[in-house]
Amino acid sequence: MVLQDFPDLMVLVRKRSPLCIGIGDNEMFVASDPVAFAGKTNKILFLPDESFALVKKDMIELYNFSGKALPLAVQNQHQLERL
């Protein structure tokens, strides 16, 4: 969701369906599968179930549904390929 009063902010919400963020240089990508940003970035953040993220081009804040801040567990695409 993009808010009219905050056009540089996206609010992402995950409940059951997969959601991940590709972290680029001053840009972010959002998809249900990291294949969607292949060739654009190697850094990926998978949102935990029942969480939401506030995302700008150079910032991510992650929270659970109770509002508790969560750590950003960014993974490298190359790490995922070895699994």
How do residues 45-71 score in pLDDT, each as one tens digit? 999 999 999 999 999 999 999 999 999
At which residue do the structure tokens 């950003």 appear? 72
* pLDDT value of position 4: 87
80 has a pLDDT exceeding 90: no
Distance separating alpha carbons of residues 40 and 14, to the nearest angstrom: 23
Residue from 35, 29, 36 nearest 12 by CA: 29
